[in-house]
């Protein structure tokens, strides 16, 4: 396997994890909206946003470490990092003050990436089993 094939496989895996995570959010959102109302839905959404921001940030850091760019612009990295911290802070503030920290919804929101990774594991096992 060449480096190009490995990066294509990695990109496909990350795309599937994001898609499965988005699907998990929709599946979780419907019963939370019905059972816990709008505040539970807001807590789920904020928990999911925090988790996805962290997941995407980790993905970007791993890509930067594995494939460093020749022109590093520290000011761009600083602005993007500051923006992510602002988004994380806003999502956590809304979770605590607006949604009144609905624990079940927040935990479901935090678990969407885990569901995405588990879905990818099931897909990979199924694919290797059928080949």
Q: What is the pLDDT of residue 67?
A: 66
Q: What is the pLDDT of residue 58?
A: 75
Q: Is residue 36 pLDDT above 80, yes or no? A: yes
Question: Tens of pLDDT along 74-93?
Answer: 777 778 778 878 887 887 77
Give the span between the Cα atoms of 95 and 109, in whole angstroms: 11
pTM of the shown model: 0.69
Longest dimension (CA), the chain: 51
Question: Tens of pLDDT along 5-24?
Answer: 555 687 888 889 889 999 99
CA-angle at 130, arms to 125 and 131, nearest 5°: 100
Confidence of residue 27 (pLDDT cuts 50, 70, 90): very high
Confidence of residue 3 (pLDDT cuts 50, 70, 90): very low
Q: Count CB neighbours of 52 within 10 A.
A: 19
Indicate the SS3 state at residue 36.
Answer: helix
Q: What is the pLDDT of residue 43?
A: 84
Q: Which of 81-85, 96-100, 115-119 has the lowest mean pLDDT?
A: 96-100
Structural domain boundaries of the chain? 3-130
Greater model confidence, 39 or 64: 39
């Amino acid at each position: 396997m060449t480096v190009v094939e490995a990066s294509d496989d990695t990109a496909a895996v990350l795309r599937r994890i994001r898609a499965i995570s988005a699907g998990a959010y929709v599946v979780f959102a419907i019963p939370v909206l019905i059972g816990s109302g709008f505040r539970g839905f807001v807590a789920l959404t904020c928990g999911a946003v925090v988790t996805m921001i962290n997941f995407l940030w980790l993905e970007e850091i791993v890509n930067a470490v594995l494939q460093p760019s020749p022109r590093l612009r520290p000011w761009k990295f600083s602005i993007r990092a500051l923006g992510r911290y602002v988004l994380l802070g806003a999502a956590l503030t809304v979770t605590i003050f607006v949604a009144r920290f609905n624990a079940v919804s927040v935990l479901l929101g935090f678990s969407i990436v885990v569901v995405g990774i588990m879905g990818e594991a099931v897909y990979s096992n199924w694919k290797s089993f059928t080949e």
